[in-house]
Amino acid sequence: MTMDDVKALMKEAGWGALATTDGQAAWARPMGGWAWFGGELWCASAADTDKVAQIKAVPRAEYCFCTREGKHARLAGVCTISTDNDDKQKLYDAVPMLKNYIPEPTAPNYAVIRMKPDRVRVMASTDLQYTEVAPG
């Protein structure tokens, strides 16, 4: 299993769930506006959301992408929040559906969650065992 296999599984799943915490409780929410740039997974968000505040307070998070058959990939790592217009434009151009939700890539309430995964686990078979995949 390679990161190319993980990315194919993510593409098949389409949407993932992003889990964050504030140190007291945890939350998971569906996330669909994502793309890979180098070794980072970027995802669109409104800047004024709880998830952005939680990432700023506790920057570790996890994404889980699951297919209809139950195959899934879990990517964990440190996240940063970018409001840099170049980053916002890059993700906006890479994910056409963002145009349905974000009127302008320079919109002040548009932010990019950038995760550098340091642990990737995949369950792609019926043996219910995770396979560790080298991030990259």
pLDDT in tens, the chain (136 residues): 899 999 999 999 999 999 999 999 999 999 999 999 999 999 999 999 999 999 999 999 999 999 999 999 999 999 999 999 999 999 999 999 999 999 999 999 999 999 999 999 999 877 789 999 999 7
- Name all contacts of 64-67 with Cβ < 8 Å and 24+ positions apart: 64/16, 64/17, 64/19, 64/28, 65/9, 65/10, 65/13, 65/15, 65/16, 65/17, 66/13, 66/16, 66/17, 67/9, 67/12, 67/13
| Residue type at 46 in one-letter notation | A
Global confidence as pTM: 0.94
Contact, 91 vs 110, CB < 8 A? Answer: no
Phi, psi dihedrals of residue 65, rounded to the nearest 5° = -115, 125
How many CB atoms are located within 10 Å of the residue 68 CB? 7
CATH number for domain 3-133, candidates 2.120.10.80, 2.30.110.10, 1.10.3720.10, 3.30.499.10 = 2.30.110.10
| End-to-end CA separation in angstroms for the chain | 13
